[in-house]
Amino acid sequence: MGFPERKMVALKGNNKMIEKNGYDEDKFTDEYWLYSDGKNPARINKDASCIVNYFTDIKKITKQENIYIGDIGAGAGNMVNQLRQNSFKADGCEFSFSGRRIAKEKFNIVLEECDLRTKLTYNDDHFEWSYCVGVLSMIPQECMKNALEEIFRITKYGVLINVGTSIANNKIDRRGNPHHLTPIDSNYMWKKIKKIGGYDWASILPPQKARYGIGIIDEFAGLFGKTLWPF
């Protein structure tokens, strides 16, 4: 997929620009990954079995023995760790220093630094498959096209995209996460993916999504590729 050259959003060295286009890295603290209410373990212990099950089925459907999976917005490395524990080759990238450090300390996983508002460091088609779960509602609207283009660029086959469509619209219902800043609905995401030439391979809608347990009730989720289904 040949994406046209695009102007990256200038972020560094301009605090007002950073504030306008999202948050600076230090907004993600250790407490963000380790606690939701200050008492109970939260995101770092999130069950990632749904992702493991999803890509286990992908292996069967595509008849690929070994696949390389990328976690775009890997947080504290829990999902990458669980994929590796289930014999997948997996790596990931994460915006926050705190997430990258905890992933190293807890799982001995080295996550790449990344920022979906700008260009990712990976080469084209670096991962065979990838997923971006619960991340895109943290990306400002003016950077969303770039974020999707970069995810598609570094993924050879398909990317699982899953994002809540109510969290960013309801400040009360952000589930302990104040970082969702972009209101998202399904039509918005469909238009953005279609505009960059993405193909819908397998939208996850009720009741199909219950099979994997991916996401929450109000969500946009699906498997998308930059070419027609090649298998």
| DSSP 8-state symbol, 92 | E
Among candidate residues 72, 70, 75, 71, the one with its CA nearest the CA of residue 28: 75
Residue 2 in this model has a pLDDT that exceeds 50: no
Residue 211 lies in a domain: yes
- Once rounded to an integer, what is the mean pLDDT over residues 70-82? 94
Residue 82 lies in a domain: yes
Residue 230 lies in a domain: no
Strands (E), the chain: 68-72, 89-94, 112-113, 127-133, 155-164, 199-203, 219-225
Domain that holds residue 219: 15-225
Among candidate residues 102, 100, 167, the one with its CA nearest the CA of residue 137: 167
Q: What is the mean pLDDT of the chain?
A: 79
Which has more confidence, 168 or 32?
A: 32
Split at pLDDT 50, 70, 90, the class of 25 is low
Split at pLDDT 50, 70, 90, the class of 44 is confident
Residue 206 lies in a domain: yes
- Once rounded to an integer, what is the mean pLDDT over residues 2-10? 34
Task: Output phi, psi for 161, to 5 deg.
Answer: -110, 130
Residue 4 lies in a domain: no
Residue 36 in this model has a pLDDT that exceeds 80: no
- Once rounded to an integer, what is the mean pLDDT over residues 6-20? 38
Q: What is the pLDDT of residues 145-193, one digit of tens each?
A: 999 999 999 999 999 998 877 655 555 444 445 666 677 888 888 899 9
Which has more confidence, 181 or 60?
A: 60
Residue 190 lies in a domain: yes
- Once rounded to an integer, what is the mean pLDDT over residues 51-77? 93
Q: To the nearest 10°, the Cα dihedral for 164, 165, 171, 172?
A: -70
Q: What is the CATH number of the domain that holds 209?
A: 3.40.50.150
Residue 29 lies in a domain: yes
- Sequence-distant (≥ 6) Cβ neighbours of residue 49 within 8 angstroms: 82, 213
Among candidate residues 178, 133, 169, the one with its CA nearest the CA of residue 36: 178
Residue 152 lies in a domain: yes
**How many structural domains are present in the chain?**
1
d(CA 64, CA 88): 12
Q: What is the pLDDT of residues 88-139, one digit of tens each?
A: 999 999 999 999 999 999 999 999 999 999 999 999 999 999 999 989 988 8
